[in-house]
């Protein structure tokens, strides 16, 4: 009587076992999803992506020196950088989180650098705390994707991203009926440019200056410029539209609402609409001057 299984039966059994093992799905949830894209994205990580993913502006970069950049392995990955920062960052928000708010990266693209003396003049600093220390040896400053050069748009032009200048167009509508007004004259106050609206109520696209209020510059620079425009149209009240938000590098539009003159209108004066500041900037502004003794609503937190 054989006390042990034969060699053949051992081989057969092991083959069957390995086939069974291979048939077990490693990701059991996969069967639950029927959509192909979900299938592809499943397990796509709750973690961060490798540094190899290039941002849009780098992909668009076709300059020869772009190909000569150091390989991703040699420069610190976002994950590694963040790990370092994470150690430094306290659990609660930093005391002065807006230290470098005066230099928003996206806005810096279009304006001349005042402090261009440093070697890294072409790049904004990722963090004021680390960037201000010239003693920190950085033999090869990492090319942070967000720090684009001046002539690179932040995104595809088909999406409305442009180079350097801000493109603006203004739409004029009837404030009551919300119908476009054709033939209205729009004057940009800052440049004294004049435009006529077309059948859709739009002026043509034009280059608009990005003017930030210099009185805020030493504290928290405005994150967008502001412009003013006046719309004139026979039979309508004049409409003054102030505070039109303008960002470098994108196409923008705004709407001026005009109100028809009626027989009951005795005192006819212009209508003013003041576009508010973006509330993200207002949050920064309020945080900037918050004291510990009177914290008010407290610092920005989740």
204 binds another protein (CB under 8 A): no
Per CB under 8 A, does 105 bind another protein? yes
- Shortest distance (Å) from residue 295 CB to another protein: 16
**DSSP 8-class letter at 163:** S
Among 12, 66, 133, 283, binds another protein (CB under 8 A): 283
Separation CA 63–CA 267 (nearest Å): 61
The smaller minimum CB distance to another protein, of residues 42 and 138, is found at 42
From candidates 10, 17, 66, 89, binder to another protein by CB under 8 A: 89
Q: 122-145 burial string, b = 16+ CB within 10 Å, else e?
A: ebbbbebeebeeeeeeeeeebebe
Edge-to-edge strands of the sheet including 271-274? 193-196, 185-188, 225-232, 239-246, 271-274
Rounded distance between C-alpha atoms, residue 188 and residue 191, angstroms: 6
Contact positions with another protein (CB under 8 A) in 35-74: 35, 37-38, 41-42, 44-46, 48-49, 51, 53-56, 58
Find the shortest distance in angstroms from Cβ 146 to another protein: 2
Kindly write out the interface string for residues 236-265 of this chain, putting x where it contacts another protein by CB under 8 A and - elsewhere: -----------xxxxxxxxx----------
* 236 in Cβ contact with 258 (< 8 Å): yes
Which residue is associated with the tokens 């930030």? 212
Interaction between residue 219 and another protein (CB under 8 A): no
Q: Does residue 278 touch another protein according to CB under 8 A?
A: yes
279 binds another protein (CB under 8 A): yes
């Amino acid at each position: 009587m054989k006390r042990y299984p034969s060699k053949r039966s051992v081989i057969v059994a092991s083959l069957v076992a390995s086939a069974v093992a291979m048939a077990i799905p490693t990701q059991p949830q996969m069967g639950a999803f029927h959509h192909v894209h979900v299938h592809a994205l499943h397990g796509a990580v709750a973690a961060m992506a490798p540094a190899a993913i290039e941002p849009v502006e780098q992909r668009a970069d076709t300059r020869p020196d772009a190909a000569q950049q150091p390989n991703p392995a040699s420069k610190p990955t976002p994950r590694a950088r963040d790990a370092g920062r994470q150690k430094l960052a306290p659990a609660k928000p930093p005391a002065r989180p807006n230290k470098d708010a005066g230099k928003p990266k996206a806005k810096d693209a279009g304006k001349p650098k005042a402090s261009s003396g440093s070697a890294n003049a072409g790049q904004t600093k990722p963090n004021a705390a680390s960037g201000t220390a010239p003693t920190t040896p950085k033999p090869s400053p990492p090319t942070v994707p967000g720090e684009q050069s001046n002539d690179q748009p932040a995104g595809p032009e088909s999406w409305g991203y442009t180079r350097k200048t801000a493109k603006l167009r203004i739409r004029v509508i009837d404030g009551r009926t919300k119908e476009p007004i054709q033939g209205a004259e729009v004057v940009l106050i800052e440049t004294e440019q004049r435009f006529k609206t077309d059948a859709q109520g739009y002026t043509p696209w034009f280059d608009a200056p990005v003017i930030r209020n210099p009185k805020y510059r030493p504290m928290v620079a405005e994150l967008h410029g502001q412009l003013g425009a006046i719309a004139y149209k026979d039979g309508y009240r004049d409409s003054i539209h102030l505070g039109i938000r303008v960002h470098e590098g994108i196409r923008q539009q705004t709407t001026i609402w005009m109100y028809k003159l009626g027989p009951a209108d005795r005192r006819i004066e212009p209508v003013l609409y003041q576009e508010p500041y973006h509330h993200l900037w207002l949050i920064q502004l309020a945080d900037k001057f918050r004291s510990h003794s009177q914290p008010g609503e407290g610092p920005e937190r989740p």
